[in-house]
Amino acid sequence: MSISFERSRSTSAQPVFKRAVLSTLAVGLLGLASSSFAAVSPEEAAKLKTELTPMGAEKAANKDGTIPAWNGGYTKVPAGYKNGDPRADPFAAEKPLYSISAKNMDQYADKLSDGIKALMKKSDTYRIDVYPTHRTAALPAWAYDNTATNAVNCKTKDAGLSIEGCYGGIPFPIPKTGNELMWNHLLSWKGEASEMLSEIWVVPADGKPTMASDIYYPGQYPYWFKDGSLATFNGDYWATMITTYGPPFKAGESFMFRDTVDMGTKGRQAWQYLVGQRRTRKAPTIGYDTPDSVTSGINYFDETFVFMGGLDRYDWKLVGKKEMYIPYNTNRTWLHDAAAVLGPKHMNPDTLRWELHRVWEVEATLASGKRHAIPKRRFYLDEDTYIATLSDSWDAQGQLWHTSFNLPMVMPDLPGTTFQAFVVHNLLNNSYVYDNHPGGKKYHFRQVKPWPASFFTPDNLSAQGTR
């Protein structure tokens, strides 16, 4: 199914209005920009128990059956699995249905992003292997209940830059605007708290992979605390502290940030531990189009996980829904050594899995009076999880510049299909970064009990300093 629309909630004055009427209208519009937008009606929300999944996706299969109906997701934890173990590929026995490369991409062009087509044109070794589609997305039962509550209570405010009335589920399971969809991505399900050890690899134009960072990465998601509530939620939906252990010249570097649902008024709070000074300072530049130090500057901070951070630099347009090939159920990627995954121009296609899914398309254009190194971006969000699975970016000259994708993987122990690894290609300088490979560490992404509030603080960041 393909839907194309843009919904506007603003009103334009007619030029024949008198000056006094225009003035009154202008004041009203200013009030609208800071007001809350209404949630959906109870009647519309009732669709979450009938034609829609509890997350808000279309429950039915597509017309030709290439996308199956959702049947509850994949929640079967393998026998003997222990928290932190590598998660097995539940579909390891499957073979690709077909492969798409430069030779045959015209046949599938309407279901490929511009960036993926560009990669195929740039390299005759680039291909995507398309496997049977499995709709593995799931949430805990309590999160389904919260999602239904959010549908009739969750609202955007501050012109879509903040949200209110939302807790512990998909904020907008029946999305109406680009801002709502991006909030669904930002608050997508990753559990309550987790930690992982991971490697970040960069591959420059010379094709020689280099480890940019070896990190410890704890993450906490208070928005998703099972035993919490809207009344106790302080607004910080994500907190993380990145500590770098290698390579040696970067050892000891660390930073921390907290993101809030009030991004329109408060913005990100970030701090950085300065190794040379053994001091912790506020770091307002950790965000937006500041080059990401963890990836040696290959991508910008807000390209992490395809998109991360505040929405205020762009106007967000909901284009519609379509079917596309996206990375999905990519457990197999994490089960390989980095050497097997990293190719000289792109990741080894043998280690990736692509499937056909319905996605929401959102276009971001630079907002009036704002600046960003990337003036235009396009995002494709998986309808089942709201993960921004693909993104293309254009520079100020209109050249296709970056293409990025997340690698959603099945984590039945959560349960859910979520993401921790992502890839960013710079199409102009022929480099790419692969972020958060487990690299044979003693544990993979593992669930932990939430840390106390004192853990994600500047004082503790200083205490964690190793040099």
Segments forming the whole domain that contains residue 284: 98-463
Backbone φ and ψ for 97, nearest 5 degrees, come out as -70, -40
**CATH label of the domain that carries residue 133:** 2.50.20.10
For residues 353 and 372, is the Cβ–Cβ distance under 8 A?
no
pLDDT for position 467: 55
State how many domains the chain has: 1
CA-CA distances (angstroms) from residue 6 to 267, 319, 390?
Answer: 27, 6, 20
In the chain the first and final C-alpha atoms are separated, in Å, by 55
Contact in structure between 354 and 335 (CB atoms under 8 Å): no
In a domain, 336, yes or no: yes
Query: Does the pTM exceed 0.75?
Result: yes
pLDDT tens digit at each of 467 positions of the chain: 444 433 333 333 334 333 333 333 443 443 444 445 668 999 999 999 999 999 999 999 999 999 999 999 999 999 999 999 999 999 999 999 999 999 999 999 999 999 999 999 999 999 999 999 999 999 999 999 999 999 999 999 999 999 999 999 999 999 999 999 999 999 999 999 999 999 999 999 999 999 999 999 999 999 999 999 999 999 999 999 999 999 998 888 899 999 999 999 999 999 999 887 888 999 999 999 999 989 988 999 999 999 999 999 999 999 999 999 999 999 999 999 999 999 999 999 999 999 999 999 999 999 999 999 999 999 999 999 999 999 999 999 999 999 999 999 999 999 999 999 999 999 999 999 999 999 888 899 999 999 998 999 999 998 876 55
Q: What is the pLDDT of residue 453?
A: 86
d(CA 396, CA 372) in angstroms, rounded, equals: 10
Q: What is the pLDDT of residue 5?
A: 37
In a domain, 64, yes or no: no
Identify whether the C-beta of residue 179 lies closer than 8 Å to the C-beta of residue 155: no
Nearest by Cα to 359 from 111, 27, 144: 111
Give the CA distances from residue 246 to residues 90, 126, 253, 290, 442, in Å, rounded to whole numbers and listed in that order. Answer: 33, 30, 9, 21, 16
38 falls within a domain: no
Tell me if 70 is assigned to some domain: no
Assigned domain for 325 exists: yes
Strands 388-394 and 127-130: unpaired
- The verdict on residue 47 lying in a domain is no
Q: How far apart are CA 344 and CA 321, in angstroms?
A: 34
Max distance between CA atoms of the chain, in angstroms, equals 75
Neighbouring residues of 35: CB distance < 8 A, sequence distance ≥ 6:
157
Whether 445 is covered by a domain: the verdict is yes
- What pLDDT, on the 0 to 100 scale, is given for residue 144? 98
Q: Determine, yes or no, domain membership for 225.
A: yes
